[in-house]
Amino acid sequence: MESNVRDVIIMGTGPGGYTAAIYMGRANLKPLVVEGYQPGGQLMITTEIENFPGFPEGIRGPELMAKMRQQAAKFDAEFLSGSVTEVDLSRSPFCITLEDGRELFTRSLIVATGANAKWLGIESEERYRGKGVSACATCDGFFFRDSKVFVVGGGDTAMEEALYLTKFASHVTLVHRREEFRSSKIMSLRASKNPKISTMLNEVVDEILGDGFKVTGIRLKNVQTGELSEHPCDGVFMAIGHAPNAELFRGQLDIDDYGYIITKKTSTETSVPGVFACGDVQDYVYRQAVTAVGTGCMAAVDAERFLESIR
Ligand code: NDP
């Protein structure tokens, strides 16, 4: 069995997972990367990325991820397509079970399973995604210069997205389904003081309106009166939270109230020695490709040191 035990398995192929694979590969540790259902992660649904350093002309999300994968393969990272259905971190080596029943064993594990923005789930939202509908102001705000945009949500993310969008948009309307925001006082105050931001409370999105090519407006429904109202706009940003992909680890790793894996300050160590987490599955604050790359590198360095310590 010893010969079947890997030094490192990386779960996830967003920027965090690929970066960890590049570093582990270069350290001659022959990482096995389990790709999961959505290889490439969230960037596969991003069009143009303009803020990834090194690409002054911008780069398309799928192209950037393909380059990262290629770079990891160059250093002998091995890729396995398939999804993990179970992990057992109570034993050493750790055991990972794939959907087809295969079991993999590893001395260290890097969790880079990412997070997904939550969406409302209405058909028009899907139809206009990338054509005015977005879930990331930092990624897409730039395309909304002098435009009218709506931000849906009432938490800190919604406040942050709304404030960020005021740099570009001529007006930002925050739409929230209740009477009160759940965001922190300081964030709510900042938003309320900004002359470019107005709020509409007790309203839910009934439909995103468009001309077939791009968003032209939004139809809201008042939750108290049932009244429908239409408002012209150029963009709608969903800020109703993110769901980290950490369910497999519940009960085995320390996880916070929002479902994110807890890592130790200034490292990627989790509550189980030998298990490291990087990227959006442990980061609700920054959530950028660049920061996932950074923590992916940290996870590889941490895992390498861990492996040295147990030899
Ligand atoms: P939250 O869960 O805090 O807020 C989500 C918001 O979206 C809520 O207001 C919720 O409404 C609303 N919502 C959820 N589902 C729907 C739906 N289907 N339709 C309409 N509205 C909906 O998520 P956040 O991403 O805002 O924050 C997560 C964590 O990250 C928090 O701890 C937050 O403090 C932290 N954070 C911190 C930041 C900072 O410090 N700078 C920045 C961003 C996030 P309702 O209130 O009715 O439940």
pLDDT at 13: 94
User: What residue's CA is closest to ligand 1, atom 36?
Assistant: 156
pLDDT at 260: 97
- Concerning whether 140 is annotated as a catalytic residue, the answer is yes
Assign 146 a pLDDT band (cuts: 50, 70, 90).
very high
Omega cis (within 30) before 93: yes
Note the pLDDT of residue 45.
64
Hey, what are 166's tokens? 């005021």
Residues 22-70 pLDDT 10s: 999 999 999 999 998 778 887 876 667 888 999 999 998 889 999 999 9
- CA 120, 125, 131, 132 torsion-angle sign: negative
Separation of CA 253 and ligand 1 centre (Å):
23
Q: What is the pLDDT of residue 302?
A: 98
Q: Is the pLDDT of residue 10 over 90?
A: yes
* pTM score: 0.78
- The active-site residue out of 7, 88, 95, 139 is 139
Per-residue pLDDT at 44? 77
Residues with Cβ within 8 Å of 19's Cβ and at least 6 positions away in sequence, in order, are 68, 278, 292, 293, 296, 297, 300
Q: Choose, from 88, 95, 100, 140, the residue flagged as catalytic.
A: 140
With a cut of 80, say whether residue 182 has pLDDT above it: yes
Whether residue 119 is predicted with pLDDT greater than 90 in this model: the reply is yes
Domains with residue ranges and CATH for the chain = 2-116+242-310 (3.50.50.60), 119-238 (3.50.50.60)
* H or E segment and range at residue 236: strand 235-238
State in Å: Cα 181 to ligand 1 middle.
9
| 257 included as an active-site residue | no
Q: What percent of the chain has pLDDT over 90?
A: 85
| Least confident among 50-54, 253-257, 263-267 | 50-54
Q: What is the pLDDT of residue 41?
A: 83
Atom number, ligand 1, closest to the C-alpha of residue 153: 7
> Which of these is catalytic: 136, 278, 280, 283?
136
Q: Give residue-wise pLDDT tens across range 195-207.
A: 999 999 999 999 9
| Distance from the alpha carbon of residue 15 to the mean position of ligand 1, in angstroms | 24
Q: How many CB atoms lie within 10 A of CB 38?
A: 16
pLDDT digits (tens, 9 = 90+) for 68-86: 999 999 999 999 998 899 9
- Which helix or strand (DSSP H or E) is residue 281 part of? none
84 CA → ligand 1 middle, Å: 28
Q: Which of 120, 205, 257, 284 to mutate to test the pocket of ligand 1 (most atoms within 8 A of CB)?
A: 284
Lowest mean pLDDT among 88-92, 137-141, 154-158, 200-204: 137-141
Is 2 a residue whose pLDDT tops 60? Answer: no
Which amino acid residue places its CA nearest to atom 33 of ligand 1? 156
Among 122, 136, 151, 157, which is best to mutate for testing ligand 1, by the most ligand atoms less than 8 A from CB? Answer: 157
Going by pLDDT thresholds of 50, 70 and 90, the confidence category of residue 264 is very high
| pLDDT score at 284 | 87
The vertex-296 CA angle with 294 and 298, nearest 5°, equals 75
Ligand 1 shell residues, CB under 6 Å: 120, 152-158, 160, 177-178, 182, 204, 240-242, 258, 284-285
